[in-house]
Amino acid sequence: MSRPKEDIWLRIIDKVVPIPCVPLGGYCFSWTGAINESGYGRFNHNLNTKNLSTLIHRLVYQLLVDNIPSKIEVDHICKNRTCCNPNHLRLATKSENLKNRKFNRGS
């Protein structure tokens, strides 16, 4: 008995606010819900009896763009960790993600 997808969307949209995105122009969809210790947005949902917590940008990517292969991370092009605008997300390996992070530090 899965809950309808629209129900998840309503819960996501309820907690997202558009904020101007400086590096890319346009808007980041900033998550105003729970944030984990690394600064990423967290979404709690119940699937059957399991209580699951998912990173919101990974969930949005999976719902709107594509599946995420194992060991692949979803990188924020806009560098806003709470952003879940699918246009600001891209797949990256862990080493690519770290390289991007280092490259962008100090700018």
Residue 78 near Zn ion by CB under 5 A? yes
* Cα torsion angle, 103, 18, 81, 59, sign: negative
3-state helix, strand, coil in the chain (%, to 5): 30, 35, 35
Question: 3-class DSSP state for residue 24?
Answer: coil
* Cα torsion angle, 79, 84, 90, 94, sign: positive
Residue 88 near Zn ion by CB under 5 A? yes
CB of 21 to Zn ion, least distance (A): 5
CB of 46 to Zn ion, least distance (A): 28
Residue 28 near Zn ion by CB under 5 A? yes
CB of 80 to Zn ion, least distance (A): 5
Residues that bind Zn ion (CB under 5 A): 21, 28, 78, 80, 83, 85, 88
